[in-house]
Structure 1
Amino acid sequence: MEQKITLIDACIAFLNAGDYEKAIEVGKLAVEKYPDNLVAYLCLGEAYYRTLKLDAAYEIFKKAESLTNKKENLMQIYSRIGQILENMNNLDDALTYYNKSLSLAKELGDTDIQAIALKGIASIYHQKGELDKALGHCQEYLSLEKNEKGKPIVYNNIGSIYYEKGNYQKAIENY
């Protein structure tokens, strides 16, 4: 018996293969055919995000947000919307979404999403020149990050913050 592949499965397959334009093409058909399916919107939104079609990604993720009340889904959606808004330089709204994601991640005990949200929050505070807040969030991130691969970037960011604060010795230690 031949297994039937849905448009949603095809969107995910194209997304995973890195063929984002095909994922968008199939994702559009998927949300048209399955207008209440969260996964269809998540796949299409992710494809838009990865092709830097940020306005479209934002609209799709906002629609996805309206399709669920499950905390695990909302935590992920809020994180991605925060990233989209940060990339669009809409820092205040990005901060709101990162904080929503962080709150749910703490409630659910998801340290991976907490780390992502903290890194985003720190980045925004750094961009806004609120260096003490940025530093605090970077340090909280380091306490959660289990993967050594992500830490050097954060230590570099901490070094930059100390440099901007004029504390060159601490900057050197972190660089």
Structure 2
Amino acid sequence: MTQPTVLVLPGLGNSGPDHWQSWLEGRLPALTRVDLGDWDAPEPDRWVERLDAAVRAAPGPVVLVAHSLACILVVRWAATEGRTETVAAALLVAPPDVESPRTVPTDPLPFPAVVVGSRSDPYCTAARACGFAALWGADFIDAGEVGHINGASGHGPWPMGETLLKDMLAQI
């Protein structure tokens, strides 16, 4: 079987050098960061197109590793586009609470997923993140009092995220 392609999907600002996604890329060099375009002024349709192109270009199964606004990208892409049959799993970390149903699809994802939320995330309560997981048919993990799970909250190194990803890869 072909090794899965792991696509890293940063949110706003492109997950800088002190972010856990960047740390994870340094530890697991087979990860590929998807260039979604303008990281500071997202264009939702363009982000969806770029994610779809990255998934289509992958030679085998795909695992998506999304943070923040990219979590919303993944569910939008799955609801509107997608070559979702090649996605083996998704790790959706710290989804933001954007209220518009047009922005946050509520359909179950057509692939296994895990949503990780924080009790102290300024952009989304743990209860809301758990609600997203339920709507999307995903498992939910409460990471505790860990902020937005980004560089600003001290998540350069994030061993929990590495373990979750490795567990997903082992199940494929």
Task: Please state which structure has a larger fraction of its residues in strand.
Answer: 2
User: Which structure is richer in relative contact order (CA contacts within 8 A, separation 6 or more)?
Assistant: 2
TM-score (norm 2): 0.32
Task: Please state which structure has a larger fraction of its residues in helix.
Answer: 1
